[in-house]
Amino acid sequence: MLSKILSKEECASCKFCCSFRRQSLWETPLFDEKQMNAVLEKYPGVKFTEVPSSVNQSVRNKKIYTVKLSDKYKTDDSEEEVSCPFLDSTKGCILPRDLKPFDCSIWPLRVVRSDDKIKVVLTPTCSAINKIELSEVKKFVKEELEEKILIYAKSHPEIIKDDSDFFVKL
Ligand code: SF4
């Protein structure tokens, strides 16, 4: 969804957002049951795990799943990164567009809840988007994406994160 401002080539060569340290496991891609089953039909060997509501307060009334990475770490180093099983080292994400999680398609944008309102914010750790003027990113998001993202978030509240000072306001 951000291909107008982020080039696919730059994202494919970086892959930062598809690799996770233990402390970043809250950012792994989210699938509802239907999405997970569709993915498992195509990739039956991939392991999923249910996201507990204690991790994501927005999933209380719905079963939500993510890829299971916790058993893939080989060391105790908190900086060790493990890749999403759908990341190909040369091609990038191998999931077809219709199976790719929405929250992956909008990264580094995120939806957060703040004072009972939901809003779109920016994750500050994407080196590619950080090369673009923030005012340009804001304009693009407001004009082209915000409405679509908020509509999706209302029907898929699992993508809504808790707000924090970590995110950049748009
Ligand atoms: S599903 Fe695709 S885009 Fe999302 S983290 Fe995995 S490899 Fe990356």
Over residues 61-85, the pLDDT tens digits come to 788 999 999 999 999 999 999 999 9
Rounded distance between C-alpha atoms, residue 66 and residue 53, angstroms: 13
The least confident of 50-54, 133-137, 142-146 is 50-54
91 alpha carbon to ligand 1 midpoint, in Å?
Answer: 12
- Residue identified by tokens 């759908």 is 86
Q: Which two tokens stand for residue 118?
A: 């939901």
Residue 130 belongs to domain spanning: 8-169
Q: Is residue 125 part of a domain?
A: yes
Q: Is 95 in the pocket of ligand 1 (CB under 6 A)?
A: yes
Q: Is 93 in the pocket of ligand 1 (CB under 6 A)?
A: yes
Q: Pick the closest to residue 27 from 66, 61, 74, 82 (CA basis).
A: 66
Q: Is residue 122 part of a domain?
A: yes
pLDDT of residue 62: 81
Q: Is residue 3 part of a domain?
A: no
Q: Whose CA is nearest to atom 2 of ligand 1?
A: 93
Q: Is 122 in the pocket of ligand 1 (CB under 6 A)?
A: no
Q: Is residue 2 part of a domain?
A: no
Nearest atom in ligand 1 to the alpha carbon of residue 103 is: 4
Q: Is 30 in the pocket of ligand 1 (CB under 6 A)?
A: no
Q: Is residue 110 part of a domain?
A: yes
pLDDT of residue 91: 83
Q: Is residue 1 part of a domain?
A: no
Q: Is residue 23 part of a domain?
A: yes
Task: Give the total number of structural domains in the chain.
Answer: 1
Q: Give phi and psi for 5, each to the nearest 5.
A: -115, -15
Q: Is residue 29 part of a domain?
A: yes
pLDDT digits (tens, 9 = 90+) for 88-133: 888 889 999 999 999 999 999 999 998 889 999 999 999 999 999 9
- Secondary structure (3-state) at 103: helix
